[in-house]
Amino acid sequence: MNTLNETHDPKLRSWVVSANAAGCDFPIQNLPFGRFRTAGGVDALRIGVAIGDQVLDLRATGLIHTDDMNALMAASPADRQALRAAISAGLAEGSSQQGAWQGALHAQSALEMAVPCRIGDYTDFYTGIHHATTVGKLFRPDSPLMPNYKWVPIGYHGRASSIGVSGQRVKRPRGQTKAPDAAVPSFGPSQRLDYELELGFFIGRGNALGEPIPIQEAEQHLFGVGLFNDWSARDIQAWEYVPLGPFLSKNFASMISPWIVTMEALAPFRAPFERPAGDPPPLSYLDSPANREHGALDITLEVWLQTRKMREAGAPAVRLTKGNAREAAYWTPAQLIAHHTVGGCNLQPGDLLGSGTLSGRKPDEAGSLLELTLGGKNRITLPNGESHTFLEDGDTLTLRGYCERDGAVRIGLGECAGTVLPAVALDG
């Protein structure tokens, strides 16, 4: 586990004035990594660190000599901590680097952000126990959780090629669906398009094929965290997912926030990992003292919606839900890594592990419309009088996340936002 050091000091301030504003997502205590280029440009992507409303071009500072984010992620934990310390010292008030680094700063508003690294493989887990329970009750009221849920971190291999960055538009997918009273399936645009509020965990150092990562070492292989929206077509999913799981209902689009908040930055916001009384303890390969003491992440998560009519009227987005990852997740990131590799699977720098939908116990902590509307039975009424069950064309859906705790400076994960477009017309 990462420990607190001078980079987390609540008294630390930056000569980048916007980083000192109250409620800022990117104070000097955060320093998340991303890839950027000039908006509208064709220049190669560069590695940057968010500081206030600016981005620091790391290569221009001389601290790194590569534009390959995956290579940076593969560095040892000690090298990553040393880089963080150097960035923090250079951005701190009174730093001798201020004059030299001024020219390495770029306004975020003038930049185009990319997926923060090359994502070679993507695995989506199902760690949200309240989500699994609520959705399970829709189909299996008497036994919502499968018998293996509290023993095995459930997951499936997803599609990496369709993962985009926040700000992109999502075309409504087409596929087969089957109404309960229909004799045969039909084909057309999804009518039950949904979001999934997730965290994405990025792998740093990989492991060799056939060599599992013990849970005691798992976090040494974890680079950081981003917001993740696994867009889902619920009607397509209901027809296709038995017996092998989601396919077209998930592969049309997933979305990640542009910044990776490192595990070092999250050190002040770790929490004990506790199972409810009466639940089985994890098997030994999924258990360690450190994981029990500090394995959970105390991250507040929010979902915001702005419809096309709201946007045209100049009305702001409305918050649909607010919850916390610590209370929602039944498994920790370290457990996901230990389980993923226990059979010998080799993870690589930049691989992405989705947490699965992170919902709380209460209805206003739900991480999907499937839960908020109880499968489409209950419509959501918005402040302007519109009502929704699932996402409609023109809707902009935004995920937000942040950490705050007494004795620490608030840090944010930024935003993960996407707008729904109509389905592409098919010839014929």
Binding-site residue set for substrate: 126, 140, 237, 241, 357
* 131 flagged as catalytic: yes
* Burial of 142 per CB tally in 10 Å (0-12, 13-18, 19+): exposed
Place of tokens 């509020």: 197
- The rounded distance, in Å, linking the Cα atoms of 418 and 182 is 33
Q: What angle do CA 155, 391, 123 make, to 5 degrees?
A: 15
Q: What angle do CA 14, 19, 114 make, to 5 degrees?
A: 120
295 in Cβ contact with 332 (< 8 Å): yes
- The rounded distance, in Å, linking the Cα atoms of 318 and 333 is 30
Up-side HSE of residue 268: CA atoms within 13 Å toward CB?
A: 20
Indicate the annotated binding residues: 124, 126, 140, 196, 198, 230, 237, 241, 250, 254, 357
Tokens (6 digits) for 309: 């009519």
In 3D space, the residue among 70, 423, 116 whose CA is nearest the CA of residue 259 turns out to be 116
- The rounded distance, in Å, linking the Cα atoms of 101 and 335 is 40
Indicate the annotated binding residues for Ca(2+): 124, 196, 198, 230
Burial 288-321 (b: 16+ CB within 10 A, else e): beebbebbbbbbbbbbbbbbeebeeeeeebeebb
Q: Can you list the alpha helix ranges (DSSP code H) found in 276-321?
A: 289-294, 308-312
300 three-class SS:
strand
Three-state SS string over 261-278 comes to: EECCCCHHHEECCCCCCC
- The rounded distance, in Å, linking the Cα atoms of 184 and 330 is 38
Sign of CA dihedral 146, 150, 152, 157: positive
In 3D space, the residue among 31, 124, 90 whose CA is nearest the CA of residue 336 turns out to be 124
7 in Cβ contact with 264 (< 8 Å): yes
Helix (H) or strand (E) holding 105: strand 105-107
Q: List the catalytic residue out of 130, 131, 221, 294.
A: 131
Indicate the annotated binding residues for Mg(2+): 230, 250, 254
Report the catalytic residues. Answer: 131
